[in-house]
């Protein structure tokens, strides 16, 4: 039957029409659509990856922030403790020094007092000697007015000096 015989005319028309459409679509149709879809898929997957990385980086930053905070707190605690220790130490040292200083001052005062005491004693002694000499002089002046008395007295002094020499 003719139905099962391909018509040569239609074969030619079909070949022309199909090849033209194929050529046009293969040149300006399908590659554009495919490329655009591929490009968009690539873009989306890239963006997803970047977002994931950013999220991870953000999580890292958060972690780091916490670590830094914890470190700072520990440092703060440590510094506070140290300063406390330093404070007590300084106070102790100051006390010690003050004690030493006061002791030193007291000791100095003692020696000075003693020295002044001694000096005063020497002064008093010399004044007492001078006074007794002047009294003795006055007494002698009064007693040795006559000659007799003078010679007696000299004698007596000589004896005394002999006794002392002996």
Partner 1 sequence: MNRPFWHIIIVFTAIAALLLPRVAFSQTVSADTVASESKGKKFDAKSFIFGHTGDSYEFHVTEVKGKPINIALPVIVKSKERGWFVFSSKHICHLHPGENYKGFFIQSQDAEKHAGKLVETNGKGEVIRPFDLSFTKNAFGLFFCCAFLLVFFLPAARQYKKNPMGKPNRYQGLVEWLTLMVLDGIIKPSINEKKYRKFAPYLLTVFFFIFFNNLFGLIPFFPFGANVTGNLAVTMVLALITYFFVNVLGSKHYWKDILWPDVPVFLKVPIPLMPIIELVSTLTKPFALMIRLFANILAGHIIIMVLMALIFILGGMYGAGMGLGISFISIFMTIFMTALEMLVAYIQAYVFTMLSAIFIGLAQEEPEKPKEKKQHIPIQQSSN
- Residue 15: CB minimum distance to partner 1, A: 5
- Residue 1: CB minimum distance to partner 1, A: 8
CB nearer partner 1, residue 45 or residue 123: 45
**143 and 149 Cβ atoms separated by less than 8 Å:** yes
- Residue 44: CB minimum distance to partner 1, A: 10
Supply the angle between the helices 30-143 and 147-165 in degrees, to the nearest 10: 130
CB nearer partner 1, residue 37 or residue 149: 37
CB nearer partner 1, residue 31 or residue 60: 31
CB nearer partner 1, residue 6 or residue 163: 6
Q: In which region does residue 62 sit, left (phi positive, over 0), alpha (psi from -120 to 50) or beta (all else)? A: alpha
- Residue 23: CB minimum distance to partner 1, A: 9
CA–CA separation, 64 and 67 (whole Å): 5
Integer Rg of the chain from CA: 65
Residues at the interface with partner 1 (CB under 8 A): 2-15, 17-18, 20-22, 24-26, 28-37, 39-40, 43
Output b/e per residue, 144-159; b: 16+ Cβ within 10 A: eeeeeeeeeeeeeeee
């Amino acid at each position: 039957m003719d139905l099962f015989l391909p018509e040569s005319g239609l074969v030619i028309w079909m070949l022309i029409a199909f090849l033209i459409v194929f050529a046009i679509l293969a040149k300006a149709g399908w590659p554009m659509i495919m490329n655009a879809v591929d490009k968009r898929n690539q873009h989306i997957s890239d963006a997803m990856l970047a977002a994931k990385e950013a999220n991870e980086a953000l999580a890292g930053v958060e972690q780091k922030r916490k670590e830094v905070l914890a470190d700072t707190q520990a440092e703060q605690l440590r510094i506070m403790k140290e300063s406390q220790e330093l404070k007590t130490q300084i106070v102790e040292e100051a006390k010690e020094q003050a004690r030493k200083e006061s002791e030193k001052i007291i000791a100095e005062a003692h020696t000075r007092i003693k020295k002044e005491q001694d000096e005063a004693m020497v002064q008093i002694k010399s004044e007492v000697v001078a006074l007794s000499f002047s009294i003795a002089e006055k007494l002698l002046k009064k007693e040795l007015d006559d000659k007799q008395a003078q010679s007696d007295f000299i004698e007596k002094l000589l004896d005394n000096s002999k006794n002392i020499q002996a």
